[in-house]
Amino acid sequence: MIRNRTLLLRAVAIAVVLVLVLPLVAAAQGVSFTVYPLENVKMRSGPGTENGIITVIPYSTPLTALGRSADETWLYVDYNGTKGWVYTLLMDLEGYVPDLPVIDAAGSPGAPPPAPPTDQPSNPPSNSPPPSGPSGVPTIYTTATMKLRAGAGTTYAELGRIPYNTTVPVSARSADSQWVLVNYNGQRGWVAAWLVTVNGDINSLPVSNEVLPGGAPTPAPAPPTGGVLPPPAPGGFELGGQTHSLDHPGEMHNAGMTWVKFQHKWGPGQSPNDLAGRIAQAHANGFRVLLSIPGGEYPSSIDYNAYVQFVAGVAALGADGIEIWNEMNLDREWPAGQINPANYVNLMLAPAYRAIKAANPATMVISGALAPTGVNNGYSVWSDDQYVAGMAGAGAANYMDCVGVHHNAGATSPDAVSGHPADGGAHHYSWYFKPTFNVYAGAFPRTKLCFTELGYVSGEGWGSLPANFWWGGGNTVGEQSEWLARAVTISRQTGKVRLLIVFNVDFTQWGDDPQAGYAIIRPGGGCPACDALRAAMQ
């Protein structure tokens, strides 16, 4: 996780890296990028399987993506001068699909996008604020097709849907204001308030616990028992959460999580068996387990051979994933003066990968995620964009299954590229989810990304955030829930993200490093984000 000193350094040096940042921002705003078929794919004359086949494109052929369908499920591509449509989920992407222009079925740009036919969110028109309801009655404005449910929760039956770009008056709310009761075209139902734009004060509405006819809740998925794990999702997307104690497995499963992350501080002389209990605990509760294994803080040296032997032993015990170190672009995690991506790849990542795969080929190897920062003095800190580029140049793609990424300094929706309270105008990518994604996806276009820490801090229920986290002082628990869910939706849409670990589930540390503010289990035991995440995973 980003620590206080890093944030201060970044704030001081943000102007220094402006010249480095601007090309990245420009790249993020491009209108075309390269994609690669994950198998032999059919190019069609239109965005849908009902359209005729133009040709079959061989596996791994580089294509130029020129546009997209409005619902982002089809890409308009150029294959050696032949243009047509391919299915997005069959592509390995070097860019971000929503950046592409919407293209109509004939291949012409500028066609007005129709309402999305699924629940995938889209950005509302920038000049279309939700209108007020009559006489000040609160309204909701849908930024995606929304489900109407029979009760205030995702376990209740679906009664209908409200289309994208629709304004509906609200008549009541749940006790926690996370759900609102509406009437759309004669169909009453409950809508998740955190997934829509609310106009007016919903807390002024009467509280209701009404369950509409035929709306008995369906049981939440029960955690697997007896060491039975969920089926793997090879090449797909999975969700997990970081915890110290795994005290809330039911809430995690309800949120759609199938992974749990533990962090273990390694030191020479430790036995891999020290982690056997962690692995068994995760598996007994029905989770795959990711073990992040860094060393102690401010090391003066690293015994690389001992570390490699340790992680190989952990893999042999049945670890499902191992993250090789953590934030190695800072002297807090790597010896000062020795911080260098080539050192990391050659001395640690490559030998660890070989040893882990020899011990357990099924263990996923994730590169250590970097501290997001714009500071780069070449001695005690490297900016993460420079470091990840150096990793790519040193051949890191050959020695990992996934690129580790951190994003935990957000104070805006994951769709935003500006507007962060600490953004002085440089729009540094690390404040924003989408530009951060572009930096790492651009450095490793053929390798999946694993967000091993993704979180949004909120002081609600705890108090004022410490000074170094002032930028998150306006974040609400509702925004935390909404933004986490949106980050999951975007990650699934890209096809580039293999795993997303929510930071965190239930930490209680509160102080200069307010980890409890990132927790989705809030003071009092509630978990608003669990419902939001579950909805995003459906």
Cis peptide before 504 (omega within 30 of 0): yes
Token pair, residue 10, equals 């970044």
Q: How many helices and strands (H and E) does the chain possess?
A: 11, 22
- Which residues, in sequence order, are CB contacts of 185 under 8 Å at separation 6+? none
pLDDT score of 27: 33
Q: pLDDT value at position 203?
A: 83
How are beta strands 179-184 and 167-173 bridged, if at all?
antiparallel
- Say if residues 253 and 221 touch (Cβ distance below 8 Å): yes
DSSP 8-state code for residue 232:
P
Asked if 333 contacts 293 with a C-beta cutoff of 8 angstroms, the reply is no
pLDDT of residue 163: 82
What is the DSSP annotation of 476-531? -HHHHHHHHHHHHHHHHHHS-EEEEEES-SS----SSS-GGGG-SS-TTS--HHHH
Domains in the chain (CATH in brackets) are 33-99 (2.30.30.40), 238-537 (3.20.20.80)
Beta-bridged to residue 448, according to DSSP, are: 402
User: Cβ neighbours of residue 127 under 8 Å, at least 6 residues apart?
Assistant: none
Question: What 3-state class would DSSP assign to 4?
Answer: helix
Q: What is the pLDDT of residue 125?
A: 34
C-beta of residue 429 within 8 angstroms of C-beta of residue 438:
yes
CA distances for 155 relative to 171, 188, 511, angstroms: 21, 17, 36
pLDDT in tens, the chain (538 residues): 544 334 433 433 433 333 333 333 333 344 788 887 766 678 889 988 778 888 888 867 889 999 988 877 788 999 999 999 988 767 767 777 778 899 886 665 543 333 333 333 333 333 344 444 555 788 988 755 678 889 887 667 888 888 867 899 999 998 878 789 999 999 999 987 766 778 888 888 999 999 988 666 555 444 444 455 666 655 589 999 999 989 999 999 999 999 999 999 999 999 999 899 899 999 999 999 999 999 988 999 999 999 999 999 999 999 999 999 999 999 999 999 999 999 999 999 999 999 999 999 999 999 999 999 988 998 999 999 999 999 999 999 999 999 999 999 999 999 999 999 999 888 899 999 999 999 999 999 999 999 999 999 999 999 999 999 999 999 999 999 999 999 999 999 999 999 999 999 999 889 888 999 999 999 988 899 999 999 999 8
Residue 367 half-sphere exposure toward CB, CA atoms < 13 A: 34
Cβ-in-10-Å burial (0-12, 13-18, 19+) of 456 comes to: buried
Note the pLDDT of residue 446: 94
Bridge-partner residues for 82, per DSSP? 79
Q: How far apart are the first and last CA of the chain?
A: 28
The whole-angstrom separation of Cα 232 and Cα 238 is 9
Instruction: Give the per-residue pLDDT at 36.
Output: 78
Query: Two tokens at 84?
Result: 């047509």
pTM of the prediction? 0.64
Per-residue DSSP letters for 301-349? ---HHHHHHHHHHHHHTT-SEEEE-S-TTBTTTS-TT---HHHIIIIII
Look at residue 198 in the predicted model and tell me its pLDDT: 81
> CA 498, CA 14: separation in Å to the nearest integer?
31
Rounded to the nearest 5 degrees, what angle is found at the Cα of 505, between the Cα atoms of 504 and 508? Answer: 85
Instruction: For residue 334, give every residue at least 6 positions away whose Cβ sits within 8 Å of its Cβ, in sequence order, or none.
Output: 299, 302, 325, 328, 344
How many Å is the maximal CA-CA distance in the chain? 71
DSSP per-residue string spanning 10-69? HHHHTTTTHHHHHHHHHHHT-S-EEEEESS-EEEESSSSTTSPEEEEEPTT--EEEEEE-
Residues 6+ apart with CB under 8 A from 343: none
Q: What is the pLDDT of residue 291?
A: 98
CB atoms within 10 A of CB 269: 8
- Integer Cα distance of 271 and 255 in angstroms: 34
Distance CA 244, CA 236 (A): 26
Cα–Cα distance list, 410 to 114, 313, 353, 421 (Å): 30, 36, 32, 10
- Give the other-Cβ count within 10 Å of 519's Cβ: 30
CA pseudo-torsion sign 308, 310, 315, 319:
negative
| 304-316 and 350-359 helices, crossing angle to 10° | 30
CB neighbour class for 107 (10 Å; exposed up to 12, middle 13-18, buried from 19): middle
Contacts of 175-178 with C-beta under 8 Å, sequence gap 24+, read: 175/207, 175/209, 176/526, 176/528, 177/202, 177/203, 177/478, 178/152, 178/478, 178/481, 178/528, 178/531
